Amino acid sequence: MTPSISLSRFALVGTMALGLAAYGSLASAAPHHQAKWSGPHGPTATLSAQASADVSQDTVQVTLAAELSADSQAKVSEQLNQRLDTVMKQAKGHEGIEVHSGNYRIWPTTNRDGQISEWRGRAEIILTSQDFSAASKLAGQLSGDMPISGMDFSVSRERRLAQEQALTAQAVKAFRARAQALTEALGFDSYRLSTIDVGGSGEMPPSPAPRMMMAMMSADKVAAPIEGGQQTLTVSVSGTILLRPVKKAKDQ
Three-state DSSP string of the chain: CCCEEEECCCEECHHHHHHHHHHHHHHHHCHHHCCCCCCCCCCEEEEEEEEEEEEECCEEEEEEEEEEEECCHHHHHHHHHHHHHHHHHHHCCCCCEEEEEEEEEEEEEECCCCCEEEEEEEEEEEEEECCHHHHHHHHHHHCCCCCEEEEEEECCHHHHHHHHHHHHHHHHHHHHHHHHHHHHHCCCCEEEEEEEEEEECCCCCCEECCHHHHHHHHHHCCCCCCCCCEEEEEEEEEEEEEEECCCCCCCC
- Percentage above 90 pLDDT, the chain: 63
pLDDT at 228: 81
Q: How confident is the model at residue 229 (pLDDT cuts 50, 70, 90)?
A: confident
CA angle 223, 225, 231 (to 5 degrees): 130
CA 48 to CA 199: how far, in whole Å? 11
Q: How confident is the model at residue 34 (pLDDT cuts 50, 70, 90)?
A: very low
- The CATH number for 59-154, chosen from 3.30.70.360, 3.60.21.10, 3.40.50.11540, 3.40.50.2000, is 3.30.70.360
CA 78 to CA 46: how far, in whole Å? 62
Of the listed ranges 43-47, 178-182, 194-198, 248-252, the least confidently predicted one is 248-252
Per-residue pLDDT tens over the stretch 110-136: 999 889 999 999 999 999 999 999 999
pLDDT greater at residue 52 or residue 7: 52
pLDDT at 16: 38
- Give this prediction's pTM: 0.66
Helices and strands, counts by H and E, the chain: 5, 10
- Percentage above 70 pLDDT, the chain: 71
Contact 74, 121 (CB under 8 A): no
Per-residue pLDDT tens over the stretch 79-97: 999 999 999 999 999 999 9
Instruction: State residue 177 phi and psi, 5-degree precision.
Output: -65, -40
Q: How confident is the model at residue 210 (pLDDT cuts 50, 70, 90)?
A: low
Mean pLDDT for the chain? Answer: 79
Answer whether residue 217 shows pLDDT above 60. Answer: no
221 Cβ contact partners less than 8 Å away, ≥ 6 residues apart: 140, 141, 143, 144
186 Cβ contact partners less than 8 Å away, ≥ 6 residues apart: 20, 243
Ranges in the chain annotated CATH 3.30.70.360: 59-154
Please report, as a single letter, which amino acid is at residue 167: L
